[in-house]
């Protein structure tokens, strides 16, 4: 049974940083494409970042230069380092796993992913 468990969310002031973690189990983590998504109240789920098994990364334009996705296959964990946070980053953040993503742009599309975590809340106050 596949499990993805996010941690590291919380409340932070604008300009601050948070590091999210997502631990995976029940599947071959090292062969999977991993992604981070977020969903704010009243908005659709948005792809934030994705990382291939070889650690190539893709980012949404809204977070480029501020967020960094990384993975540690030995620990079955993917991370999202978030810097220079602003109120627009407030959302529930989810990690997701996919066996493949097809085209590179599919890495930021929710329908690409097979498995999802329960989410961790990030709140940025101005």
Q: What is the DSSP string of 59-106?
A: E-TTTTTTEEEEEEGGGTEEEEEE-S--GGG-EEEEEEEES--SSGGG
Q: Give the per-residue pLDDT at 92.
A: 98
Q: Give the per-residue pLDDT at 91.
A: 98
Contact 27, 43 (CB under 8 A): no
Contact 81, 87 (CB under 8 A): no
Q: Give the per-residue pLDDT at 30.
A: 83
Q: Give the per-residue pLDDT at 105.
A: 81
Query: For each successive 10 residues of the chain (126 residues), what is the average pLDDT?
Result: 96 98 90 95 96 94 98 96 98 94 87 96 96
Q: Give the per-residue pLDDT at 93.
A: 98
To which residue do tokens 């977070």 refer?
63
Q: Give the per-residue pLDDT at 26.
A: 86
Q: Give the per-residue pLDDT at 35.
A: 97
Nearest partner of 110 among 43, 45, 33, judged by Cα: 45
């Amino acid at each position: 049974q596949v499990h993805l468990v996010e941690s590291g969310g919380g409340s932070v002031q604008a300009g601050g940083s948070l590091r999210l973690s997502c631990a995976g189990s029940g599947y071959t983590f090292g062969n999977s494409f991993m992604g981070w998504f977020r969903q704010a109240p009243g908005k659709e789920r948005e792809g934030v970042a994705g990382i291939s098994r070889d650690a190539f990364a893709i980012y949404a334009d809204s977070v480029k230069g501020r967020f960094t996705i990384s993975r540690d296959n030995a620990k079955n964990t993917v991370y999202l380092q978030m810097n220079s946070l602003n109120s627009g980053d407030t959302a529930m953040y989810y990690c997701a796993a996919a066996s493949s993503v097809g085209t590179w742009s599919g890495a930021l599309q929710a329908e690409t992913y097979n498995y999802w975590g329960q989410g961790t809340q990030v709140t940025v106050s101005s």
